[in-house]
A and B are shown apart, each in its own frame.
Chain A
Amino acid sequence: MLTPVLSDNWDQIRSWQLASYQRSGGYEALKTALRMQPADVVTAVKDSGLRGRGGAGFPTGMKWSFIPQDNPKPKYLVVNADESEPGTCKDIPLMLASPHTLVEGVIISAYAIRANTAFIYVRGEVLHVVRRLQQAVAEARAAGFIGVDILGSGYDLDVIVHAGAGAYICGEETALLDSLEGRRGQPRLRPPFPAVAGLYGCPTVINNVESIASVPSIIANGPDWFASMGTEKSKGPTIYSLSGHVTRPGQYEAPMGITLRELLDLAGGVREGHTLKFWTPGGSSTPLLTADHLDVPLDYEGVSGAGSLLGTKALQIFDETVCPVRATLRWTEFYKHESCGKCTPCREGTWWLVQILERLEAGQGGEEDLETLLDLSDNITGRSFCALADGATAPITSSIQHFKDDYIAHFTNGGCPFDPMASTVFATAGASA
């Protein structure tokens, strides 16, 4: 039921070191790839059916094929390691445990698109991940996997580990590019897409950590092997992250299309004595789902069909002790704080949303305010450069859809009817907070 591929070496001794990674077969795929034509590597990734693991699900091989090889400018590969979507916690443990899986993927992917410089843009707030990445790149360079004439192939590559400085918006690919150019991280208008005019105006591929880390296994085992796992249109194994009110939270690598019911079963269920109230399929920017959706296949099509998005497969589990209004307000405060300020609907709209939600949580409001929230959300979503604005409205519209009664209870109760202590992990641990 579980299919550890990316996570398969995480229990090996010093799995983050080159020697350990190579004992697990690491860098054999690189040797295979360097014996192939770059275009054939692109084809292999296309044939595997790998889709972007950063949330959007765009086919990775197709993204690579958009790089115009007749363009004389340098090509760049940029890894989006700015994992910041609330609930998302898959790339950070991967890079801590096995940074070489990513580095090997970077080298193969850069070779495929004929880039001679690659960047790993990692969020700055994860010091030890930065250390492990820096060391992995240094080890790979010393071993001749990075640098000039890699393994006698004539292919040259430099890899730069770049730490960000705290900005959720830089997980958006064009904002990330601006940030990597030493600017404020603000999204760009598309087109042109990064494949045509990305970093420094040059053709650029930007992929999520898990996408790039999946490439070595595809080259090593073949696209058919990868496509043998998963569902019709969502292929391969992937990392699902369970957090919140679940007995054994953590990382569970399974074929695409597993259900939350199955995952919860593996993770020991919702915390003892409690029941599932709501959950996010892929971070806070994906509309909330409820216990009615336990059997939805967690692939791109299945979750879309249920009215949400697969996103980053960040399954945040909330039991009946959690107030959906409090949860929604807190997420909305997050989006307000992280809005880069470029587009008016997002910059102004998220402030308005917070103000209204604050009133509602305090019990000062009425049902007409819910209409105002929905109206505002309708005027924010789809009206900005990037998807941050759309994400900001997802918790609001979905929580009103599923939990209107909880909103109304705040009005009739004159405040929040939930006990904030009951939802804590130390609720029964005798903590005297």
Chain B
Amino acid sequence: MSDTTVPYSTGETKLGDTTLAEMRELAARYPVGRSALLPMLHLVQSVEGRITPEGIEACADVLGLTGAEVSAVATFYTMYKRRPVGDYHVGVCTNTLCAVMGGDLIFERLKQHLDVGNDETTEDGKITLEHLECNAACDYAPVMMVNWEFFDDMTPESATQLVDDLREGTEVKSPRGATICTWREAERVLAGFPDGRADEGPTGGKATLAGLRLARERNWKAPQGNHSGRAPEPEQTVSPDAASGPRPEDQPGKESQTVHTDDARKED
């Protein structure tokens, strides 16, 4: 953990009437307003860059709670940060499976490369490094996350390249998500304010589609249903080539290393 002390309050807050109005909007979405507390704390982070005392008080005011009640919640969840987070929160999964597949070595390399420890931020304020627990992408191990977007099948080399790109301001895209926004922008989406980027990225990566492609290749299907609830045959939405089976390099024993963009089933 970092020894860097952060003032309890800097005396400055960016929380204004707009944010308070958005907090009330969040509370109004739920049958009971307090249910909006987690989204509201995400919103505080999107504005303040961390959970500030002012943010806690603002949540308490809107929901009619005490500051202690809000603090109790804010300190329970690992995504809420008391120290300022950089533009890019970089996570490395070091739960067992990712760890043995290379996550431990990746995390060590990044600590060295960025000269920071766990849960610390680089001096330029760009990157906060943290080791993560399982992020539900084990079929792409070792996995990293940048601002909670997936980065799959990582190596120490690809990991250092990734953080270098982020620090230099090069546009970075998640292989199964969108162009990487800032951590604060991500927090705003998690608070419940969409950013219109849902259509970026593919349906899934290679591992997601591994079973389906094999089923297509071997013409394995679930049995036909008795009812006619579903449309009998989906319209042709994929190219005949694509529908006929997996790409040759995806056939058993022939691993493909790259994602082809000329595959009609692979969006964009």
The docked-state distance in angstroms from the alpha carbon of A248 to that of B217 is 15
Within the complex, what minimum Cβ distance (angstroms) separates A396 from chain B? 13
The 8 A CB mask of B120-154 against A (1 = contact, 0 = none) is 00000000000011111111111001011110010
Q: A15-B203, A131-B198, A330-B94 are in contact. Are A433 and B225 (CB under 8 A)?
A: no
Within the complex, what minimum Cβ distance (angstroms) separates A275 from chain B? 15
A126 touches B216 (CB 8 A): no
The docked-state distance in angstroms from the alpha carbon of A338 to that of B134 is 11
| Chain B interface residue bracket vs A | 35 or more
Report chain A residues within 8 Å CB of B63. 182
Q: A163-B190, A163-B192, A420-B104 are in contact. Are A128 and B174 (CB under 8 A)?
A: yes
From A138, A268, A423, contact of B194 by CB (8 A): A138
The 8 A CB mask of B205-226 against A (1 = contact, 0 = none) is 0111111111110101111111
Within the complex, what minimum Cβ distance (angstroms) separates B234 from chain A? 5
A96 touches B134 (CB 8 A): no
Within the complex, what minimum Cβ distance (angstroms) separates A186 from chain B? 8
B226 touches A224 (CB 8 A): yes
The docked-state distance in angstroms from the alpha carbon of A284 to that of B96 is 9
A74 contacts the other chain (Cβ, under 8 Å)?
A: yes
| Chain A interface residue bracket vs B | 35 or more
- Chain A positions 225-257 with a Cβ under 8 Å from a chain B Cβ: 225, 228-229, 237, 241-245, 247-254
A39 contacts the other chain (Cβ, under 8 Å)?
A: no
A164 touches B77 (CB 8 A): yes
What residue of chain A has the Cβ atom nearest to residue B139's Cβ? A249
The docked-state distance in angstroms from the alpha carbon of A11 to that of B153 is 21
Report chain B residues within 8 Å CB of A184. 72-73, 76
A135 touches B79 (CB 8 A): no
The 8 A CB mask of B155-166 against A (1 = contact, 0 = none) is 111000000000
Listed A/B pairs (28) with beta-carbon separation below 8 Å: A3-B221, A7-B211, A11-B216, A14-B267, A17-B199, A87-B97, A91-B136, A124-B42, A127-B189, A127-B190, A134-B194, A135-B199, A162-B39, A163-B42, A165-B41, A165-B80, A181-B34, A182-B36, A185-B77, A224-B226, A251-B208, A266-B214, A268-B252, A316-B97, A321-B100, A334-B133, A424-B101, A425-B155
Question: Footprint of A on B, CB under 8 Å?
Answer: 29-32, 34-39, 41-42, 63, 72-73, 76-80, 91, 94-97, 99-102, 104-106, 108-109, 132-142, 145, 147-150, 153, 155-157, 174, 176-178, 186, 189-192, 194-195, 197-201, 203-204, 206-216, 218, 220-227, 229-231, 234-235, 237-238, 242, 252-253, 255, 264-265, 267
Question: Footprint of B on A, CB under 8 Å?
Answer: 1-5, 7-17, 20, 23-25, 28-29, 31-32, 74, 83-89, 91-93, 96-98, 117, 123-128, 130-132, 134-135, 138, 160-168, 179-185, 200, 217, 219-222, 224-225, 228-229, 237, 241-245, 247-254, 266-268, 284, 314, 316, 318, 321-322, 326-327, 330-331, 334, 337-338, 340, 420-421, 423-426, 429, 431-433
